[in-house]
Chains A and B, each alone.
Chain A
């Protein structure tokens, strides 16, 4: 009886530590609005904390849009399937090209989708090789979103 009890305790401990196999489901994050105490969106993640699904809600907390994401081996988005409340569904496939400089640093990433959108992300480094900024440029509209990273 004592051995059985010890075995069960050990098995439960191992199970909780996911040593029997990595779980495919990670934490679920729900973003809520403090003022109205209503949900805005929910993020589902996998065992690597990658976002696998997002749910967006309308003002009455009904699901207005669901997006499912698939990733390639490098961790970039490969496919996005979007379903709206009206029943419309679309799947967008992405191809990502990583351009590296002579030093091996990532200097540019080009993301193309099969619906014609193309995004270029440029990266800037300082003299000691620290990533200091990135610029995302929409090729079609020439609009850019930029960010400087904290030092």
Chain B
């Protein structure tokens, strides 16, 4: 055993014998015996050792008799030794610290015990973490004792669906297994643009190049692209032709300003499942003791006789857990260009309510790129320590051991998808001060989408029994593309949007993969 292990075990033993707060409530340990030192005052209100008054027990308790050096058990069952007593703002402040165990107990015995942690011992759960269904069984040893075989080791056991979790739970029905689901967005941010500055620049540059006609004078309205003021795309098209009069013919209620919007958002997300067996703790404790008796003979004065008996402390902790998780960073891009063809607008100036309807073309681009890591981590540990205790509380023959197994494997992946759609729509939107209240649109057109991913064919990992293993020498690229026609009807209310009807008719699909 190395000196580091010895130090660890000594520390563990010392914790067991009492550097940790001495708790006076042995109720959860059946058959425990605890003898307080005579000077200890038990200040618990219920179930406490009673005080003595006039040679009789009394339920009355008072903290007024506590002085520096007094040892007492507080309401939480913890032993404290008083270091000072003083008044502060109308309260009596009793300054305390943890006493050494020999100041508190003259004898302690905890028979061998075994504790199985339960969900009642669960103190808190982090946001984004939920408890999965659990199964309980008598034999919870499998996960304790099994190292991973080669087939399992080479697989990142990322669980993707609730069904798979349920299947796994059913397969381990004999284990006292618990599960925590974790789905937590660690970071997210987004930028939204309702106007595309590039379009304005394009339009203004078109005018300065002198390609515009002048049938519809831009100065007639504050915004030449405002269809409600008689401007708009139709006018711009007419102007672009250079033919006098053609702008007037298509101006007015026809056409409108192209509207562009784009949104970029990103997030880092942690999704995973933590499976664990509730820790099992076993141990025992007996405090050392010293008994004094007197040897009395007629030929000499009484001689004290000291009889020492050794105590012991031992503890064993077993646990096992597996954490499969996926850490992903995703960047989403969505852009939309809406080109009004024939729009009708009604604006109520007082309330700033605006209703707009008409025929328009819309081009959308949705894409995402995700970089992620899939990680599977499994560990099983058993640690035990024990020592003999010599009076008063000196640990000797400290020994122990540990049996740990640790395995982790991971693989990265990069996935991307993009879809471009273009079509004609009819629709209307009610808005207030630029905020969309309700909208309905129906339309169809063409789409083309592509998605793919690249990932290694194997995993890399570390196993405490065999060391590092695996490589990323071989990779696979998979690409899938599709083109077709679509038609959909979409209802929008404030920020909520829902496709009432959506249908796609693909006429071209293509998929391929390359390994290298």
Task: Point out residues on A near B: beta carbons under 8 Å.
Answer: 27-35, 40-43, 45, 48-51, 54, 56, 67, 69, 71, 74-77, 80, 94, 105-106, 109, 111, 113, 117, 119, 121, 123, 125, 129-131, 134, 136, 138, 140-150
Q: How far is the CA of A123 from the CA of B49 in the complex (A)?
A: 10
Q: A56-B76, A141-B27 are in contact. Are A119 and B92 (CB under 8 A)?
A: no
The 8 Å CB contact of A130, one of B32, B55, B83, B95, is: B55
Which positions 87-119 of chain B face chain A at CB distance < 8 Å?
88, 90-97, 106-107
Answer yes or no: B195 CB below 8 A from chain A CBs: no
A54 close to B45 (CB less than 8 A): yes
Q: How far is the CA of A54 from the CA of B76 in the complex (A)?
A: 10
Q: List 25 A-B contacts (CB under 8 A).
A: A28-B91, A29-B63, A30-B92, A31-B80, A32-B93, A35-B97, A41-B74, A48-B60, A54-B45, A56-B75, A67-B45, A67-B75, A75-B58, A75-B59, A109-B50, A111-B46, A111-B47, A131-B55, A134-B57, A141-B28, A141-B29, A145-B26, A146-B35, A146-B36, A148-B38
Q: How far is the CA of A83 from the CA of B281 in the complex (A)?
A: 29
Complex interface: chain B residues within 8 A of A48 (CB): 60
Q: How far is the CA of A67 from the CA of B31 in the complex (A)?
A: 28
B33 close to A143 (CB less than 8 A): yes
Complex interface: chain B residues within 8 A of A30 (CB): 88, 91-94
Q: How far is the CA of A45 from the CA of B43 in the complex (A)?
A: 12
A121 close to B50 (CB less than 8 A): yes
Q: CB-nearest residue of chain A relative to B110? A: A143
A32 close to B94 (CB less than 8 A): yes
Complex interface: chain A residues within 8 A of B192 (CB): none
Answer yes or no: B201 CB below 8 A from chain A CBs: no
Q: A29-B91, A144-B34, A146-B33 are in contact. Are A69 and B57 (CB under 8 A)?
A: no
Complex interface: chain A residues within 8 A of B465 (CB): none
Q: A135: shortest Cβ distance to chain B, in Å? A: 9
Task: Point out residues on B near A: beta carbons under 8 Å.
Answer: 24, 26-36, 38-40, 42-43, 45-50, 52, 55-64, 74-76, 78, 80, 83-84, 88, 90-97, 106-107
Complex interface: chain B residues within 8 A of A43 (CB): 43, 63, 75
Complex interface: chain A residues within 8 A of B58 (CB): 75
Complex interface: chain B residues within 8 A of A142 (CB): 30-31
Q: A92: shortest Cβ distance to chain B, in Å? A: 8
Q: CB-nearest residue of chain B relative to A104? A: B56
B75 close to A41 (CB less than 8 A): yes
Complex interface: chain A residues within 8 A of B93 (CB): 29-30, 32
A49 close to B62 (CB less than 8 A): yes
Complex interface: chain A residues within 8 A of B56 (CB): 105-106, 131
Q: A56: shortest Cβ distance to chain B, in Å? A: 5
A147 close to B35 (CB less than 8 A): yes
Q: How far is the CA of A108 from the CA of B102 in the complex (A)?
A: 28
B31 close to A94 (CB less than 8 A): no
Q: A77-B46, A136-B47 are in contact. Are A33 and B92 (CB under 8 A)?
A: no
B35 close to A28 (CB less than 8 A): no
Q: How far is the CA of A95 from the CA of B208 in the complex (A)?
A: 97
A80 close to B45 (CB less than 8 A): yes
Q: A108: shortest Cβ distance to chain B, in Å? A: 10
A40 close to B57 (CB less than 8 A): no
B95 close to A32 (CB less than 8 A): yes
Q: CB-nearest residue of chain A relative to B62? A: A49
Q: How far is the CA of A136 from the CA of B32 in the complex (A)?
A: 12
Q: CB-nearest residue of chain B relative to A92? A: B46
Complex interface: chain B residues within 8 A of A27 (CB): 63-64, 91-92
Q: B72: shortest Cβ distance to chain A, in Å? A: 9
Complex interface: chain B residues within 8 A of A80 (CB): 45-46
Complex interface: chain B residues within 8 A of A144 (CB): 32-34
Across the A-B interface, the 3 shortest Cβ-Cβ residue pairs = A147-B36, A143-B32, A49-B62
Q: A77: shortest Cβ distance to chain B, in Å? A: 6
New A-B pairs, 11, CB < 8 Å, besides A50-B61, A75-B60 = A29-B93, A30-B91, A30-B94, A41-B75, A54-B75, A75-B59, A111-B46, A123-B57, A140-B27, A143-B32, A144-B33
Q: How far is the CA of A52 from the CA of B52 in the complex (A)?
A: 20
The 8 Å CB contact of B45, one of A69, A105, A129, is: A69
Q: CB-nearest residue of chain B relative to A94? A: B46
A51 close to B31 (CB less than 8 A): no
B75 close to A28 (CB less than 8 A): no
Complex interface: chain B residues within 8 A of A76 (CB): 59
Q: CB-nearest residue of chain B relative to A55? A: B75
Q: CB-nearest residue of chain B relative to A31? A: B94
A131 close to B57 (CB less than 8 A): yes
Q: How far is the CA of A66 from the CA of B76 in the complex (A)?
A: 11
Q: How far is the CA of A80 from the CA of B88 in the complex (A)?
A: 28
A150 close to B38 (CB less than 8 A): yes
Q: CB-nearest residue of chain B relative to A129? A: B55
Complex interface: chain A residues within 8 A of B33 (CB): 143-144, 146
Complex interface: chain B residues within 8 A of A109 (CB): 50, 57
Complex interface: chain A residues within 8 A of B43 (CB): 43, 51
Q: How far is the CA of A4 from the CA of B212 in the complex (A)?
A: 103
Complex interface: chain A residues within 8 A of B91 (CB): 27-30, 42
Q: B42: shortest Cβ distance to chain A, in Å? A: 7
Complex interface: chain A residues within 8 A of B48 (CB): 136
Q: How far is the CA of A142 from the CA of B32 in the complex (A)?
A: 7
Q: How far is the CA of A33 from the CA of B26 in the complex (A)?
A: 24
Complex interface: chain A residues within 8 A of B52 (CB): 131, 149
Q: B57: shortest Cβ distance to chain A, in Å? A: 6
Complex interface: chain B residues within 8 A of A31 (CB): 74, 80, 94, 96
Complex interface: chain B residues within 8 A of A136 (CB): 47-49
Q: B84: shortest Cβ distance to chain A, in Å? A: 8
The 8 Å CB contact of B49, one of A29, A134, A150, is: A134
